[in-house]
Amino acid sequence: MSREISHEVTGAWLEGDEPGERKFVKIGFLLLENGEVLPDITIAYQSWGTLNEAKDNAILINHAMTGWSDVPGWWPQMVGPGLPFDTDKYFIICPNVIGGCQGSTGPSSIAPDGKRYGSRFPIISIRDMVNAEVAFSDALGIDKYLLSVGPSLGGMRALEWAIQLPHRVGAICTIGSSAVATGDQIGTAAIQIRAIKSDPYFNKGDYYELERGPVEGMGIARRIAHLTYRTESEMDVRFGRQLQGDETGRYAVESYLDHQADKLAKRFDANTYIALTDAMNSHDVGRDRGGVVEALQSITVPVVVVSIDTDRLFPPRLQVEISELVPTAQPLISINSDFGHDGFLVEAESVGAAIRHALDIAEKSR
């Protein structure tokens, strides 16, 4: 499988937020879990710090669903000299997932026939994403990561690394995530997908050459999702029944959700939203492994599990399950937050302390 590395800064879906300076690696083809083949894959990534001569100081950051390779852009106060991901000590790397829209091969990418994939992009799973990350790591010559860490979708991938590739990670840290998608998560996500596909401009996923895409459907999906990311109490205390105070007559909370929808529409592709949501819905570490219990009990590397006490998308019981079933799990770290699932973004000090703890564990297990 031929692989090459490029340093060009092109090929992103982004029209609003600056994605940062990315590099690109071609990893060839990938046999997907469903039996299809995704050819000629490109992985976009960013890195910080220096890979040492032994190549044993690398940390893999697995971004969340609407995150991307520029970690400081979505996870501030985490990467840099003296910060939890200390660039004076470690080589930190974050690839954009396949199916993404920030430079890695996804639905908006050009297929081998010269046209955008659109509706033809294959269904992908969490394991497919990890297999692509493995090929990406091989291309960079990284045989083993000191730590694989990530929140939400990233935590799902970190778990897969621990189960599938224990020889390639020293330890993992999963934050606000789970071992299997729940019925509640799937139900909420299915409504979001329905909203996008019901947009008259969706055109069955082939909208790239049209003047308008499914912006309204994406906006509705994002509004639904954002409510699951935050808490009922925050929405009530912060907005209550206040009106926006303009000619629209909207409630303040409506204006807030409109803003969140508009922000995402400027930097995210609707087909990617569907592809990654479908992948999260299919998440089940126990699939073809004898079930969730058996899969988690097979883990042999140290596991640090972080929970957010007000998370209603990934409620704490899901992290408790991981911590109780994984033989090598450290005591569960519970972070107190008023911000629900988004606590992993907001509670920089507490999350940073958990990261430092995970790295201490990884260092001791060398």
Q: What is the average per-residue pLDDT within 145-161?
A: 98
Which of 152, 177, 307, 350 is an active site residue?
A: 152
Q: Within this chain, do residues 201 and 288 fall inside the same structural domain, yes or no?
A: no
pLDDT band at 20 (very low <50, low <70, confident <90, very high): low
Does 10 score more than 50 pLDDT?
A: no
pLDDT band at 189 (very low <50, low <70, confident <90, very high): very high
pLDDT band at 366 (very low <50, low <70, confident <90, very high): confident
Q: Which two tokens stand for residue 37?
A: 């083949």
pTM for the complete prediction?
0.93
Phi-psi category of residue 236: left, alpha or beta, with phi > 0 → left and psi -120 to 50 → alpha: alpha
Does 28 score more than 80 pLDDT?
A: yes
Per-residue pLDDT of 108-131, as tens digits, reads 999 999 999 999 999 999 999 999
Residue 15: its pLDDT value, please?
Answer: 36
Q: Which two tokens stand for residue 187?
A: 């139900």
More confident residue, 144 or 2: 144
CATH number at residue 12: 3.40.50.1820
In the residue annotation, 298 being an active-site residue is answered as no
The last residue of one of the domains, among 280, 311, 346, is: 280
Residue 330 per-residue DSSP state: P
Q: Checking DSSP bridges between strand 85-86 and strand 79-80, what pairing results, if any?
A: parallel
CATH number at residue 255: 1.10.1740.110
CA dihedral 72, 74, 76, 81 (to 10 degrees): -20
Does 160 score more than 50 pLDDT?
A: yes
How many domains in the chain? 2
Residue 32 per-residue DSSP state: -
Domain limits for position 216: 184-280
Contact 229, 340 (CB under 8 A): yes
In the three-class reduction of DSSP (H, G, I as helix; E, B as strand; rest coil), residue 87 is classed as: coil
Q: Within this chain, do residues 193 and 128 fall inside the same structural domain, yes or no?
A: no
Per-residue pLDDT of 57-103, as tens digits, reads 999 999 999 999 999 999 999 999 999 999 999 999 999 999 999 99
Contact 147, 154 (CB under 8 A): no
Count of CB atoms within 10 A of residue 4's CB?
A: 11
Residue 266: its pLDDT value, please?
Answer: 87
In the three-class reduction of DSSP (H, G, I as helix; E, B as strand; rest coil), residue 225 is classed as: helix
Q: Within this chain, do residues 111 and 129 fall inside the same structural domain, yes or no?
A: yes
Q: What is the average per-residue pLDDT within 215-237?
A: 97
Residue 329: its pLDDT value, please?
Answer: 98
How far is it, in rounded angstroms, from Cα 275 to Cα 19? 20
The last residue of one of the domains, among 231, 264, 280, is: 280
Which segment of 68-77, 245-254, 337-346 scores lowest on mean pLDDT?
245-254
In the residue annotation, 311 being an active-site residue is answered as yes
How far is it, in rounded angstroms, from Cα 339 to Cα 346? 7
Does 17 score more than 50 pLDDT?
A: no
Q: Of all helices (H) and strands (E), which one includes residue 4?
A: strand 4-6
How far is it, in rounded angstroms, from Cα 351 to Cα 331? 15
Residue 1: its pLDDT value, please?
Answer: 33
Q: Using the Cα atoms of residue 232, residue 312, residue 229 and residue 347 in order, give the sign of their dihedral.
A: positive
Residue 14: its pLDDT value, please?
Answer: 36
Per-residue pLDDT of 95-108, as tens digits, reads 999 999 999 999 99
Q: Which two tokens stand for residue 327?
A: 């033989």
Q: Within this chain, do residues 38 and 149 fall inside the same structural domain, yes or no?
A: yes
Q: Of all helices (H) and strands (E), which one includes residue 348?
A: helix 348-364
Q: Within this chain, do residues 107 and 133 fall inside the same structural domain, yes or no?
A: yes
- Computed over every residue of the chain, the mean pLDDT equals 93
Beta strands in 233-356 (DSSP E): 303-308, 333-335
Q: Checking DSSP bridges between strand 91-95 and strand 85-86, what pairing results, if any?
A: unpaired
Q: Within this chain, do residues 133 and 196 fall inside the same structural domain, yes or no?
A: no
Q: What is the average per-residue pLDDT within 226-235?
A: 96
Q: Within this chain, do residues 158 and 264 fall inside the same structural domain, yes or no?
A: no
Residue 249: its pLDDT value, please?
Answer: 87
Q: Within this chain, do residues 315 and 213 fall inside the same structural domain, yes or no?
A: no
Does 326 score more than 50 pLDDT?
A: yes
In the residue annotation, 152 being an active-site residue is answered as yes
Which of 63, 226, 283, 341 is an active site residue?
A: 341
Q: Within this chain, do residues 69 and 204 fall inside the same structural domain, yes or no?
A: no
Q: Within this chain, do residues 331 and 268 fall inside the same structural domain, yes or no?
A: no
Count of CB atoms within 10 A of residue 126's CB?
A: 24
Does 48 score more than 80 pLDDT?
A: yes
Per-residue pLDDT of 32-45, as tens digits, reads 999 999 999 999 99
Residue 288: its pLDDT value, please?
Answer: 97
Q: What is the average per-residue pLDDT within 147-162?
A: 98
Half-sphere exposure of 177 (CA within 13 A, CB side): 31
Residue 11: its pLDDT value, please?
Answer: 33
pLDDT band at 245 (very low <50, low <70, confident <90, very high): confident
The last residue of one of the domains, among 227, 253, 280, is: 280
How far is it, in rounded angstroms, from Cα 288 to Cα 206? 34
pLDDT band at 6 (very low <50, low <70, confident <90, very high): very low
Which of 269, 284, 311, 342 is an active site residue?
A: 311
Q: Within this chain, do residues 47 and 170 fall inside the same structural domain, yes or no?
A: yes
Q: Within this chain, do residues 195 and 83 fall inside the same structural domain, yes or no?
A: no
CA angle at 307 for the pair 301 and 313, rounded to the nearest 5°: 120
pLDDT band at 321 (very low <50, low <70, confident <90, very high): very high
